[in-house]
Amino acid sequence: MKTKAKILAKALELFNAEGHEAVTTRQIAQALGMSQGNLCYHFPQKKDLVMGLYQALVAEFDQTFKNLQQRDYSFEEAFVQTHQMLGIQSRYQFLMHDFVRIMQTYPEINSHFRALQALRHQQLQLLFKQLNARGMAHLPLEGPAFQRLVEQYFIVGNAWMGEAAILNPQPKPDLLQHYCAVLLGLLYPWLSPAGQAAFDQGFNAFQKSLSSKPS
């Protein structure tokens, strides 16, 4: 593993364990057995570490959204990819738990996140179009109804870890599965009877695939 990757990995470990505000670059350097000067050569300030980890999360999310936009889209695949996205958030949990503070502290991340929301709107709109075209749904594609649905999707997607930390302080093995169903369940009222049947079948297949994996 290259030095920058090692630094980011250790920073992520410490930020997740103690919160990013409580961790200094000196602590990260000491944990790695390197000088602070060497660490700062690669990441001059702590904000550069936070930005690097934020960019890593976004890159993983981008790949997952690309997978969702494939032509052979199915509800089982939607559950699988959504489960992966929640797993990504769990790996970068400090960004989610300290979400508001990070957005207030780092203008660059705030600006990028705002721009990213516009892209996610377009990606969701494309997915909705695919479902409508296949007779699976009657999803709104513009106007207030579309905006409300997308906002609900983002609120749940961005805030589920906070609720989970309060209501489930001891993480359950099926926690990601639960919130995956909550998030995708926002689409259910908009689905046609055929779409709801496919949704239920996809969720059952998804559950079976998880139970068949070694623990």
Instruction: Give the C-alpha separation, 57 to 138, whole Å.
Output: 32
Among 103, 2, 87, CA closest to 50: 103
Give the predicted TM-score (pTM) of the model.
0.88
Superfamily assignment of 1-44 in CATH? Homeodomain-like (1.10.10.60)
Model pLDDT, residue 175: 86
Model pLDDT, residue 190: 97
Note whether 164 and 175 are within 8 A (CB).
yes
Model pLDDT, residue 26: 94
Encoded tokens for 68: 């969702």
Cα–Cα–Cα angle for 91, 207, 89, nearest 5°?
Answer: 15
Distance of CA 77 to the CA centre of its chain: 16
Model pLDDT, residue 169: 67
Encoded tokens for 107: 């203008």
Model pLDDT, residue 103: 92
Instruction: Give the C-alpha separation, 175 to 159, whole Å.
Output: 14
pLDDT in tens, the chain (215 residues): 689 999 999 999 999 999 889 999 999 999 999 999 999 999 999 999 999 999 999 999 888 877 776 656 789 988 998 999 999 999 999 999 888 899 999 999 999 999 988 888 888 898 899 899 999 999 999 999 999 999 999 999 988 988 888 887 666 668 889 999 999 999 999 999 999 999 999 999 999 888 876 65
| Identical topology for domains 1-44 and 51-211 | no
| Distinct helix (H) and strand (E) counts, the chain | 11, 0
Model pLDDT, residue 108: 92
Write down the domain spans for the chain.
Answer: 1-44, 51-211
Superfamily assignment of 51-211 in CATH? Tetracycline Repressor, domain 2 (1.10.357.10)
Instruction: Give the C-alpha separation, 120 to 76, whole Å.
Output: 21
